[in-house]
Amino acid sequence: MRIGLGYDVHKLVYNRHLILGGVIIPFNRGLLGHSDADVLTHAIMDSLLGASCLGDIGKYFPDQDERYKDVSSLSLLSKVLDLIRDNNYIIENIDSTIIAEKPKLSPYIKYMRANIARTLNIDISSISIKATTEEGLGFTGKGEGIAAQSICLLNKNLSALK
């Protein structure tokens, strides 16, 4: 049994789409980043890589590499799945929290869960995504950015070892 923790943060800017869990969220700003800047998916990837002791997303998808410019983070998540499967791990569950003052995210969470579950080829019941605010405190509370945290549980795929 392996537990991994992931965290990501990006600044909110104008003239970008806001993408969380592969869902385009209607909002007047989006997240700044080399890829689509999907903080939720980035945090999930880091939790999976951490649990399997494979490093972090910067190791595999550096922000200086033009191949990853504006790329969908769900496609990167699929590559992370290949890495953890190559190391004989299976995903038991993922629990994530998005930290954003605005916009309200509850109407979109079921779509985020479905995207993550489909990309990881696991049941949606293994994916928990929550959203919270910071009551006006800090950079997320002031609406300057959005953060996400994720924790996951992996197990060795014993049938693959036989």
Q: What is the pLDDT of residues 125-155, one digit of tens each?
A: 999 999 999 988 899 899 899 999 999 999 9
**Is 72 annotated as contributing to ligand binding?**
no
**Is 97 annotated as contributing to ligand binding?**
no
How confident is the model over 58-88, as pLDDT tens digits? 999 988 888 878 889 999 999 999 999 999 9
Residue 160 has a CB neighbour count (10 Å cut-off) of: 12
**Is 35 annotated as contributing to ligand binding?**
yes
With 0.85 as the threshold, say if the pTM is over it. Answer: yes
Cα 130 from Cα 41, distance rounded (Å): 13
**Is 26 annotated as contributing to ligand binding?**
no
Per-residue b/e over 119-151, b at no fewer than 16 CB within 10 Å? bbebeeebbebebeeeeeeebbeeeebbbbbbb
**Is 17 annotated as contributing to ligand binding?**
no
**Is 62 annotated as contributing to ligand binding?**
yes
**Is 65 annotated as contributing to ligand binding?**
yes
**Is 132 annotated as contributing to ligand binding?**
yes
**Is 10 annotated as contributing to ligand binding?**
yes
